[in-house]
Structure 1
Amino acid sequence: MAGLDPRTAARRRSQALAIGLVAAFMTLLDVSIVNVALPSIDRAVGADPSDLQWIVSGYALTFGLLLVPAGRFGDARGRRTVFVVGLGLFTLTSAAAGVAGSPTWLIIARLLQGAAAGLVNPQVIGLIQQLYHGAERGRPFGLLGATIGVSTGVGPLLGGGLIELGGQQLGWRLVFFVNVPVGIATIVLAWRLLPAGPGRRAVDGRNLDPVGVLLLGVGVVFLLLPLVQQRQWQGPLKWLLIPAGLLVLLGFVGWELRYRRHRVPLFDLALFRLRSYLLGTLIGLLYFGGFVAIFFLFTLYLQTGLRYTALQAGLAVTPFAAGSAVTAALGGRIINRFGRPLVAIGLATVAIGLVGVIVALHFVPGRGAPLVTALPLLVAGLGSGLVITPNQNLTLSEVPVAQAGSAAGMLQTAQRIGAATGIAGVGMIFFSTLAATGNGWSRAFRDALLATTGFVVIALVAAIVDSWTERPGSPARAGGAG
């Protein structure tokens, strides 16, 4: 925003940030909001369990698939263009999902909607890296972290409210239609207010690395597909896709190392030489392995196991979202002072809160679950706000602006893989316990929470190791190199 006076430039930056946060909220909300609508969708369009699984997991699959290529394309050709195109596709596919008359139609709309979300999200982080520098990134990253926490946690509540408002036949359609007016308004404002040019440099079409895009895409699909479909695909053969995916990703690494000798690669693997980026990506993968599973299983436990309504189930997870929103904004402001130890404190607080939920459900199982878990969920949420935002800030602190989109895309891809792994692994424990106990929903949920806590504890170990080895005065501690 060169050429503007400081006051005008600051106002334009704030406006651009607000537009990015609205888009991030919309796309991340659709990860969780659909969960509470599944019973209504089942009755309205006659979806079987496999269809319902694809409606939920198909979005996550294509979301994760597009993150790195979209981030790279935004770095190369201008983040505003990719942002507006992605948001336009997201708005159109949301409308298409809302008017779906069959399971197949809805699944296709959700796959395309997830791909559009994958186009949008790396641009938001890339814009923050582009518009803010050094320690001043703390505030926008704090607001983005609050957006992530609130959108994930409030999804079931908003979905339940819309279903209550529209009834069983119309309510689930409102879950998708709500994106349309917001999306249109955001597109108009984005085209006017976001910076028009590419981040720092333009590249020609040969540098967009189509082979790298293909290898990474195939590898990510092979990894995610057996995880998101593990309950629908019977038999052990599906797990062969995971080693196949790892082999393809190994081929991707080899290709990128060769490609970078002559041109700009899809993703610069040298970023993993940055200690802050490597450990931050690992922490993000592990934490999202537990973080997302909490909402998936809790809403399932309340709606299917305890027969609560969609709105009641949404209200029950609100304490976590509220706690996360409060500390995420704070965490973004104080991360420059405390560095990685703040993330470790947040992870420890999440673990304490989850253990509190387990203890509460042990003494008060059944219909009293939402009441007795409110306080420990609030504690876990307060901790979560000190994890997502500060970790994101530290992870990207030493990344050059020209690579911000692809670096953010890889970080979010790791988070999506972690989320899919967590839901698959923790879900397997949940349903195995449920089958073994006959109808022991409370026991199954407690066992699943133990596994979720395990993900958080392993992430805590990584954060502690990073804290012990963090160099005084490093860019990670100082808020970034700009």
Structure 2
Amino acid sequence: MNDTPAAPAAPQTPSDRTRWEAFAVCAAVAALTIMDLSKINVGLPTIEHSLSGGPTELQLIVAGYALAFGLALVPAGRLGDIHSRKAMFVIGLSSFILASLLCAVAPTIEVLVIGRILQGVAAGIQMPQVLGLIQQLFQGRERGQAFGLFGAIIGLSTAIGPTLGGLLIALGGEADGWRLLFWMNLPLGILALIFAVRLLPSHQQHERRHTELDLVGILLLGAGVFGLMLPFVLTTGGPDDDPKRWFWLVLFVIAAVAFVIWERRYLARGKSPVVDFGLFRLGSYRNGILIATAYFAATPAIFLLTTLYVQQGLGLAAVFAGMISIPFALVSAWTSWIGGRHVHRLGRKLVLFGLALVFVGFVLALPVAAYSPPELVPWLLAVCMGVAGAGGGFVISPNQTLTLTDVPVVQGGVAGSVAQVGQRAGTAIGVAVASSTYFATLYRENGLHDRIEVYSDAFRNGLLVALGLVLVALVFGLLDLRQPQAARR
């Protein structure tokens, strides 16, 4: 493999048009992947009735996707770094299309769960390549602008997903409209695949060290992530939850300790580990991961709680339930773009300001659910979403830029993968804890109060859990802000 700077110079300096075309492909596929995580929320009630799914199966449809996503991220990111990000991108996207087809035709709830897990694996293969390619294509302030635009697109995708899901369910009918959520991935995925083959760069820089794949490290890391996320994935808040599921955390502890020991010895032998712990000495990288993990534990959970509350508690149709998140989508897209332009000047202060706005926006939802007339609740929740969305745009893309700012380009894929593992683990844990709190309240108060009051209490309790996670992100941001600049770099 040629490591001299002169040989790869031409492929590493493509024209502006070529770079932004490749960026468009990456952003489009990332949007399709993330949208698949958020649009499924409004489909859960119809899936429950159509395929007779219970709380465990519905939890697996949402959190199982995140679990599989997290397991695939690091090995896929490592393979992309040492071999070809374009090839891994194509493999991941092709697998995502096939898994979506399986979900669309699923005859039983068990087949749908399997399809969703396979979708998560495919998404975990392609997402590290997206982050690695953006690292590869852009440098300096231009990278901040690219991540700002990327964050705007991801924010739109996350928040517009429920609206799109509701429209597709209305179009397809209550019985099988949820299948359109997966059928739509086929034409869009195939179109993206064609452009990916044509436009993504085939050449990239590689590490000068050994580039063999650390299979033992990957297996230990996978076991640790699995042991951490599984008990939360299996948590529904219902009376049938098995307390023995928490014993999986023992696997997490053992695998994590073994992983650290193995990776250090592997590096001492002059080989390239799956995760270079030297990355965590970069304060910008370490602190960015902590903030993102807490943030992504909170916000997807809040979207899910809101959808469940207005559909189950207020009887709102799926299409209207999804529309509540539109203000978040529009405002966060705008502030993501602004944040990308100013992150180099304002740094972590911008992220901290965004987290404060997110907290305020979602806190306002508490009195709305408790005291507002039911017919006004969806409208007022949409206003709260707009306030939170203003903050969300200042969090996601600026934090992504700051997290990867000091990471070498040759490690961009695996560095982005580790950050994504934190986000996916956070999502699985946050969704599990908040939704189980929601359902536990329903089980506990069923028949004791007015129906709407019971659902309002469930929404409030779940939201308080999620707000606690936003506060954790705020604490991490404050701690980072108090460090000297040299310590953060």
The 8 Å contact of residues 259 and 265 in structure 1, kept in 2 or not, is answered as: yes
Following superposition, the deviation at residue 279 of structure 1 comes to 0.8
The answer for the alignment partner of 1:446 in structure 2 is 460
Structure 2: how far apart are the matches of 1:412 and 1:382? 23
Amino acid at match of 1:152: T
Greater alpha carbon shift after TM alignment, 289-298 vs 50-59: 50-59
Give the 5 Å matches for 1:50-65. 50-65=56-71
Confirm or deny that 1:246 pairs with 2:253.
yes
Describe how 1:58-457 pairs up with structure 2 within 5 A: 58-201=64-207, 207-231=212-236, 234-261=241-268, 262-364=270-372, 366-438=374-446, 439=451, 440-457=454-471
Cα gap change, 1:451/1:103 in structure 2, threshold over 3 Å: closer, same or farther? Answer: closer
CA shift for structure 1 position 47: 3.0
Q: Counterpart of 1:458 in structure 2: which amino acid? A: V
More divergent stretch after superposition (237-246 vs 391-400): 237-246
Letter of the aligned partner of 2:173 in structure 1? G
Distance, in Å, in 2 between the alignment partners of 1:365 and 1:396 is: 46
Contact conserved, 1:361 with 1:446, CA < 8 A, in 2? yes
For 1:146 and 1:400, how far apart are their aligned partners in 2? 24
Give per-residue Cα distances to partners, 1:92-129, cap 9 Å, x unaligned.
11112111112222222111111000000011110111
The 8 Å contact of residues 93 and 109 in structure 1, kept in 2 or not, is answered as yes
Over 3 Å counting, the alpha-carbon distance change for 1:102 and 1:202 in structure 2 is: farther
Pick which of 263-272 and 34-43 moved more.
34-43
Taking the aligned partners of 2:298 and 2:373, their CA distance within structure 1 comes to: 22
Compute the TM-score of the two structures, normalised by the length of structure 2. 0.92
Instruction: Assess if the C-alpha contact under 8 Å between 1:76 and 1:203 holds in 2.
Output: no
Q: After TM superposition, give the deviation of residue 470 of structure 1 in Å.
A: 4.3
- Inter-partner Cα distance in structure 2 for 1:150 and 1:384: 11
One-letter amino acid of the counterpart of residue 462, structure 2: A
Kept in 2, the 8 Å contact 1:301–1:441? The answer is yes
> In structure 2, what is the Cα distance between the partners aligned to 1:374 and 1:131?
37
Q: Name the TM-score, length of structure 1 as normaliser.
A: 0.94
User: Aligned-residue CA RMSD in angstroms?
Assistant: 2.0
1:145 partner amino acid: G
Q: Give the CA deviation at 1:475.
A: 8.8
Q: Confirm or deny: 8 A CA contact 1:87 1:187 kept in the other structure.
A: yes
Shift of 1:376: 1.9
Contact persistence 1:353–1:380 (CA under 8 A) = yes
Mark the CA change 1:343 to 1:185 in structure 2 (over 3 Å): closer, same or farther: same
More moved, 190-199 vs 432-441: 432-441
Choose the corresponding residue for 1:46, options 52, 77, 89: 52
Contact kept? 2:235, 2:433, Cα under 8 Å: no
Q: Which stretches of structure 1, 4 residues or longer, exceed 4 Å deviation after superposition?
A: 202-205
Does 2:482 match 1:468?
Answer: yes
C-alpha spacing 1:470/1:166, structure 2 compared with 1 (3 Å): farther
Is the contact made by 2:103 and 2:112 (CA closer than 8 Å) also made in structure 1?
Answer: yes
Cα deviation code 1:193-252 (max 9, x no counterpart): 1110244348777x2100011001111111111101112762321112123212211211
User: 1:159, 1:311 within 8 Å by CA — same for their partners in 2?
Assistant: yes
Taking the aligned partners of 1:53 and 1:451, their CA distance within structure 2 comes to: 17
Distance (Å, rounded) in 2 between the aligned partners of 1:394 and 1:269: 18
1:38 partner amino acid: L
Structure 1 counterpart of 2:5:
none
Q: Is the 8 A contact 2:136 2:204 kept in 1?
A: no
Partner of 1:479: none
Of residues 439-448 and 152-161 in structure 1, the stretch that sits farther from structure 2 once superposed is 439-448
CA deviations on 1:122-160 (whole Å, 9 max, x unpaired) are 111101111111221111101221122122111111100
3-state secondary structure, aligned to 2:438: helix
**Conserved 8 A contact 1:365-1:442:** no
TM-fit CA distance, 1:264? 0.6
Name the aligned partner's letter for residue 172 of structure 1.
Answer: W
One-letter amino acid matched to 1:72: R
Between the two proteins, the alignment pairs up a number of residues equal to 473
Q: Gapped runs of 5+ residues in structure 2?
A: 1-7
CA–CA distance in 2 between the matches of 1:266 and 1:192?
Answer: 30
**Cα pair 1:97 1:109 within 8 Å, conserved:** yes
Sort the Cα spacing of 1:366 and 1:312 in 2 relative to 1 into closer, same or farther, 3 A.
same
One-letter amino acid matched to 1:443: D
Secondary structure of the residue aligned to 1:168 is coil
Separation in 1, partners of 2:474, 2:230 = 28
| Residue deviations 1:21-47 (CA, integer Å, cap 9, x gap) | 011001111111112112222333333
1:143-192 deviation per Cα after TM superposition (whole angstroms, max 9, x unaligned): 22112212211111110000111112442111101111111111111111
Counterpart of 1:314 in structure 2: which amino acid? G
Displacement, 1:367?
3.4
Judging changes above 3 Å, is the alpha-carbon distance between structure 1 residues 422 and 406 closer, same or farther for their aligned structure 2 residues?
Answer: same
> How has the CA–CA distance of structure 1 residues 111 and 22 changed in structure 2, closer, same or farther, with 3 Å as cutoff?
same
Taking the aligned partners of 2:152 and 2:366, their CA distance within structure 1 comes to 25
Stretches of structure 1 that go unaligned for 5 or more consecutive residues are 477-482
Cα distance, 1:49–1:427 mapped onto 2, change above 3 Å: closer
- CA 1:341–1:142: 2 relative to 1, 3 Å: same
* Counterpart for residue 480 of structure 1: none
Q: Aligned equivalents of 2:291 and 2:266: distance in 1?
A: 28
Q: Does 1:26 align with 2:32?
A: yes
- The share of aligned pairs that are identical, in percent, is 45
Q: How many angstroms does 1:286 deviate by?
A: 0.9
Q: What CA distance in whole angstroms lies between the structure 1 residues aligned with 2:10 and 2:67?
A: 42
Counterparts of 2:203 and 2:11 in 1: how far apart (Å)? 16
